[in-house]
Amino acid sequence: MSMITVTAFKWVPPIVQGLGRDLRVRWALEEAGLAYTTHLIGPPNQQSAEYLHQQPFGQVPVYQEDGLVLFESGAIVLHIAERSEALMSAEPNSRARTKTWMFAALNSVEQFAQMFTELDLFAAGQEWAKLRRPILLAATTARLAQLARWLEGREYLEDRFTAADLMMTTVLRILRHSDLVTKNSTLHAYQNRCEARPAFQKALKDHMASFAANVPA
């Protein structure tokens, strides 16, 4: 049986713990019932020639299996979903719609969530950030409202949980420092519903365990 290995950070500051992109891959593997091991890395590893040969941008995760090396969490989750009906239906049109929503999570929602969060967490107090924040707040709020409209009356983006919901939920988690998701009853219920899944709870527990075990001296 082939062995899957996923890279993850050995430790990150508490402010970003629980947001690492390896969480998406862990969750997908748990939903698919695929065993894996982790290879924990730190800053020196990220910039090594060996690692940059696997991940040109020095980020996590990297997925390895039987000589196949993949990077970018979205691509990895798609690869896993394509081999598991737990994450993607076998019906062609449903598969296509699931892929559409996976791309929407990354391209239409995450960019706003990421920019808004990075501004709040890493640039708060700077004059340019004070001027920029209302614009990003309005854009992010509008995009979330569009997502909420789609989810009205639905439990999931498709007719059941898929990899698209996995991706979208991890995107919504990026905004956890704010009330942008929690104050929207539709999105809040949707996120809670997805995060209540045993596979997510297991993935999050394992994701957080390495940080607790590797606190810098």
User: How high is the pLDDT of residue 16?
Assistant: 95
Note the pLDDT tens digit of each residue in 206-216.
Answer: 999 999 999 99
The rounded distance, in Å, linking the Cα atoms of 101 and 147 is 11
Please answer whether residues 28 and 83 qualify as being in contact, where contact means their C-beta atoms are separated by less than 8 angstroms.
no
CA distance 61 to 71: 6
**Model pLDDT, residue 59:** 97
Domains and CATH numbers, the chain: 4-86+199-209 (3.40.30.10), 92-197 (1.20.1050.10)
> What is the average pLDDT value for the chain, to the nearest integer?
97
pLDDT for 161: 98
Is 88 within 8 Å of 81 (Cβ atoms)?
yes
Residue 32 confidence (pLDDT)? 98
What's the CA gap between 184 and 164, in Å, rounded? 20
pLDDT on residue 2: 77
Question: Which stretches of the chain drop beneath a pLDDT of 50?
Answer: none
Q: What is the pLDDT of residue 1?
A: 62
Tens of pLDDT, residues 145-181: 999 999 999 999 999 999 999 999 999 999 999 999 9
